[in-house]
Every structure is written in structure tokens, then in C-alpha cells.
Structure 1
């Protein structure tokens, strides 16, 4: 395995994505969930070839990318995906909304489990449903898990669906297979649907166990719809391709009811990049995962040395660190304080859940060790009372 190194800061600042254009050049951006590595060579080659043949039209079918993903899922996790039970669309959030539109009616409750990816708070309202919060149990010290009793009670009170995050952003939790089986049984008992966002599934820490929701039981296949993408693991979010996956007649009926435009919104470049990623990007991905594992450990060492009051748990998956900065006294939104005074941009903790995110921030360590060190040095200097900007 060849380790993949992040690009140098001067090259990264030439990028035009949100991560690199939101803040001025004196800020280190560790916010948006995109990585700082060079594109996987098979993806780059496939995109260049498409440009050379002027292949820039509409997507024809989901079958090619679905078949590529099925092979990837089988090789990586032993998950058997039927390519004929996959519909592509533009991105995971759009896929979740379209599923919710099919399985809920206006005003129905949709369960989410904060702290969780901030757009989850908007997806149910976009589908004319309402949010029901059932926060995760546990915390940084002992880890997190689903509040299965709370979810059961929320379904009993009338919620009709749940958006599961597996692996869970921002805490990096891979939900235990037994918990997922229990969740499926609960949903089946209440006639509810589990929409499982599995976008971070390929970014596993060495030794971590990820269980695709649709793989854990017959009940999960009956009540579940999975939505995933190559976008996080292979850094191709801007190309727009995600997959909505089902494994039962009930799930198939959800996809069959989608408006035709759901698939047509898939980006052809996204499909081309995803096929290359799933078919030929494995070696690159493993090299990136090796770097991320080293970065996660480095972050822990630096925090212990320079910011011992900050609490952090190495995630099972993702390249995202959920940090409890409460001990520093930087207020409910420490990310705002860090940006203003240390020129380090972190993701705003309360946006992941007003209560659960208070005093927290999310840090993206999908970058170089040099940038991580510089960021922690700046935060440590601020904590010591020598802010860069007063």
C-alpha cells in the first residue's frame, strides 16, 4: 500500500471550492467535509477521457455505476447489492428528501439523532415533514450509541421515518450491528421507514467494523433505504452522483415512485468518476485511509500535549473530529472564537444540535500533518492568551 499525502497549502489555495474560498488566505480552513488529497489517478484519467470525447451530456442509466458499487460493496464489506435495485441521483441529501417524500405525509415526524450533520435538520422540512430529535446516548469518554428506547417511543408517538447516519457524522460512530437489528425491528413494528445515510462508509479506521443497514437482517431490508456516494471517500462531491439502494419490494416501490427527474439530476461526470472510483480506486483509498489513521492519532497526541483540556475520541470512520472545547471557556460556539482570534476555521458545534453541540466544534483532519500541527499551535497559543488577533 502506498500512502497518499495531502497537497501543499500553496496548491490547495488554488482550489475554488467552498472550503478554500470562504475565508481569506490567513485562515486555515478545517470546516467543510472535503479532503486535501490529490484526485485518485483512475478518476482523473476517466474524467480527462470524457472531456477528450466531449462526453458531457445527460446520464443514460444507473446500471453501470450501480454495478460498480455492487462489486465495491461485496469486496469491502461482503454486502450483496442488486444493481437493479439502485437509482442514482445528484447527492445524498437529495436522495434522502426524495425518499422522505414517498414515505411520509405533510406534518409527519422524522427522527434524527443529534449531534448530527446539520443539513439533517432541514431535510425533513424540505419534504414537508417535521423533525423529531432523539439524541445519541453517551459521549466522548465512553463512546456513543443510539437511544433505541427513545426511538421506539418517538415512533409510538407517531413519527413515520428516521434518518440514520451510519457512520455517524460528526462523532465518527459505526453503529453496532446488534443495535441496527434492534432498530430495524422497532421500525418494522411501527410500520416506519429507516433512511440510512452511509456516505462515509468507505472511510473506516483500521480495525473498525461497519455494518451496512440493509445487510443486518430481513427486517432491515424490509424497512430500510440506503443512500450513499463516492463523494466523501473519493473527494468528488462537486461532480454530483449518489445512489439510492433498496433490498425489498417495499423499498423498490419507493424508488419506482420517484419522479423521473430524480435520476436525471445525476451528473454524468459524477457517474463516470464514481465508476472509476468503485472499480479502480481501491489502492488510492487504502493509501488515504492510512494517512487519515495517522492524522487521527497525531491530532490526539497534539491535543494531549498542547490543549489537554480539549476532549476528543478517535472516530471509527470519517476524517472528522468532534472536539469538546468547553474547558477553554470560549463560549457556546468555540468555532467562532477560534476563527476570530486564531484564524482557524472549525465547523460550528451548535449547528449539529443546539444542546449537544454547545461548547463543541468539528475539525476536518483530512489534510496534511503540517496543517494539523499549525492549527493546533494556533489554538494552543489562543488558549494560552496570545491570540493572533485581539
Structure 2
């Protein structure tokens, strides 16, 4: 596959557009969970204004009163065009897609299609915390295949987990986080092809959460799971939510490989009633017209990754940090600081900065925190300064 690199869009860096006072007017979870003296660098919301094409599309819909139920394939068509241009992937077939309320509810519905009650779902901790309660609420059981010490998939561990998962004769699935949250790892084409081969060998169905796909660092290629050899029976969940900061405008797409089309056809019709029509409009506009804004954002995130590395070296040299290849999240190993299993609690209480606690991410998360670097350089600098102050 060929793809376009990050381009200089000519648009200003959206991470520099909003002041802290302006951000504190927001009423979303990031800005209302903690008191005003706490600097929030935790949940996956970005400190950016929306891309102008999104604002325009949503404003036009509201002015027209176009606030009914979602319809049509425009969202899927926009995603297919984006995937072809951005990732060189021409295999996203609109007829093998279905609209779902959001990525995690889509994950639940895909797992419901390919597993039954009590069946195992393999995950790769440390991993996005909602994977655990969503799987368990579905009456499936978690089967862990932890990442290696390098933060990448350990194929030997994964094969052992697959073997155990199917040993009882039931069905099994692998909920793959790609790119990986919280480490920011981007799985290579070779790694994904190896996953597909193992899944085929053991009869495990792969469901890929690819919500962070557009958010790669400069020089890093995202590889859609369904694009690799042997992944025909896989299912993917994609959305413009993370890349364009649209979590409050609910809409996502389930995408099936050629051999999973029949599974996707069994998706209950009522699932398609869950997405917001205005959300679909927003996501479609982002994918069709928001690339210049996205490129400006990606450049700003690259700058912030470099800034964070420098700040940690100066202020918190005991923290081990491998800059992520994607997402806007940084996974920080604080074990050398001797702050216990949950350093985020210490940083909150003593430094008044909110980070995501590592233990919530499962095996491998103790002694770690996740930091959201999708903010202004000034706020990021203040956040690390507060972390350092907690140690004094």
C-alpha cells in the first residue's frame, strides 16, 4: 500500500488556539470531573476548536432542522475515500459496513455476533480500560495476552492465549486495539498478518478497535487490520471521533472483511437507530473535508511529543517514556519514583494534575500513568511541572 505523508496544510496548529480560561468553560467530562484547581490531562478529549468543515456542516443541519434519524451510506463512502488516500487501502467496501452508535458499543455488537455467553475474549493489557467492563457486561470472559516488555504484541504469548481460549471447544474472539491505547504502538503489517494467521489456525475471530487510526506520528504508517493477508474473517470498528474530537457526536462504522459479511448481515436493525444523525453529518464532514485541519493537528502532536520528552528529561528523569507512534496519549513508567501502584493518585493529591491511573489498564499497568498530550504546549509544560512538584 502507498499512502500520503503528513502534509503541511497551511492551517494553524489547533492545539495552540484555546487558552486555559476558555477551556474551563467547557462542561464535558474532562473539565467537570475535578475541581478547578486541578489541571486535567487524563481522559481522551483534545483541547482544540473543531475543524471548520465540521462546524459548518453541523450548523447547516441545525439551521435546516435536519435532526432526524441517520440514513444513507455517505459516512461509509467518506471513510472508504479517506482510507484509500490516507492509508493506500482500497479494500473498504461500503456494502460491508454498518453504522453503530460508537466504537465501544460497536465492539459489543461485533462480539455478540461471533461469540456466545461465557466465551473468551482475548485482550492485550495494558489496554484501554473499558474493554474489561464492556466484555464482562456482555457475559463474556477476559483472556489476557499481555504485551511484551517492548510494548508490542508478543506472538508467542498470543498463540498460547488463543490455544487456551479454544481448548474447551467454544468460540473465541480477540479484541485488538490498533493503534494500541495506552502505549501508542502501531502494529506493523507483519505483526498483523501474523495475528491473522494465528486467528485462522485456531478459529479465533478478530475484532479490531481502530478508533485512533488517523492519529499516527510523522513517518509512521497505520495498517488497517482488514488489509493484511488472511484477515478476511475480521471485523473492524472505525470512527472520526478521536482524530477530530467528536466523542459527543455519536457515530461509528463497523467494517467486515469479505468472509465476515454474513456475520455483519445479522446485526439487529435496531442497532442502526443508535447513532446520532447530526453525529453522522459531523463525522462525514471531517473525513471528507477535514484533512488540512488533521494535518495541522498531527504536526502539533509531533511537536508536543518532542516537548514532553524534553520536559520529562529535565523535570522527571526517573520516568521511563517511549514516545508513542500514534494516538495523543503518553504511557509513563513511574515505578522508579517509588509512588506505589497508582502514581496518578500522588500526582493528583500533591501536584493537582489529573492523569489516568495505570492499574485501570490491567496487567502491566501498575506503577504507570497515562498522560493526554493533546493540549497547548503551555498547559503540557505546566502539567509536567506540577507532576515534578508532587515529588518535592
- Length-normalised TM-score, structure 2: 0.94
Query: 1:381, 1:261 → 2: CA distance?
Result: 51
Query: 1:319, 1:297 → 2: CA distance?
Result: 12
**Partner in structure 1 of residue 351 of structure 2:** 342
SS at match of 1:60: coil
Structure 1 residue ranges (4+ consecutive) displaced by more than 2 angstroms after TM superposition: none
**Partner in structure 2 of residue 205 of structure 1:** 217
Q: Is 1:179 aligned with 2:166?
A: no
**Partner in structure 2 of residue 22 of structure 1:** 33
Match of 1:169 among 166, 181, 191: 181
Gaps of 5+ in 1: 386-390
Q: Deviations over 1:116-140 (max 9, x none)?
A: 000111222232210001100123x
How far the C-alpha of 1:345 sits from its partner, in A, is 0.1
Gaps of 5+ in 2: 1-8, 167-171
Q: Deviations over 1:133-169 (max 9, x none)?
A: 1100123xxxx22121222222222341000011000
- Length-normalised TM-score, structure 1: 0.94
Report how many residues are paired: 375
Note if contact 2:350-2:389 (Cα within 8 Å) is conserved in structure 1.
no
**Partner in structure 2 of residue 146 of structure 1:** 153
Query: 1:14, 1:297 → 2: CA distance?
Result: 29
Q: Deviations over 1:189-239 (max 9, x none)?
A: 11220000000000010001211000011x112x21010110000000111
SS at match of 2:59: helix
**Partner in structure 2 of residue 56 of structure 1:** 67
Aligned pairs for 1:350-369 within 5 A: 350-353=359-362, 355-369=363-377
Q: Is 1:85 aligned with 2:85?
A: no
How far the C-alpha of 1:247 sits from its partner, in A, is 2.2
Match of 1:320 among 329, 334, 345: 329
Match of 2:276 among 258, 261, 267: 267
Q: Is 1:105 aligned with 2:112?
A: no
Match of 1:125 among 133, 136, 154: 136
SS at match of 1:145: coil
SS at match of 2:218: coil
Query: 1:79, 1:243 → 2: CA distance?
Result: 16
Query: 2:264, 2:250 → 1: CA distance?
Result: 19
Q: Is 1:253 aligned with 2:265?
A: no
RMSD of aligned Cα (Å): 1.0
Query: 2:236, 2:54 → 1: CA distance?
Result: 24
SS at match of 1:14: coil
SS at match of 2:143: strand
Note if contact 1:40-1:234 (Cα within 8 Å) is conserved in structure 2.
yes
**Partner in structure 1 of residue 314 of structure 2:** 305
Q: Is 1:375 aligned with 2:383?
A: yes
**Partner in structure 2 of residue 388 of structure 1:** none
Q: Is 1:66 aligned with 2:76?
A: yes
Note if contact 1:19-1:32 (Cα within 8 Å) is conserved in structure 2.
yes
How far the C-alpha of 1:242 sits from its partner, in A, is 0.6
How far the C-alpha of 1:241 sits from its partner, in A, is 0.5
Q: Deviations over 1:52-72 (max 9, x none)?
A: 0011111123x1100011000
Query: 1:239, 1:129 → 2: CA distance?
Result: 28
SS at match of 2:248: helix
Query: 2:206, 2:247 → 1: CA distance?
Result: 24
Match of 1:224 among 203, 219, 234: 234
**Partner in structure 2 of residue 157 of structure 1:** 164
How far the C-alpha of 1:323 sits from its partner, in A, is 0.3
Note if contact 1:115-1:357 (Cα within 8 Å) is conserved in structure 2.
yes
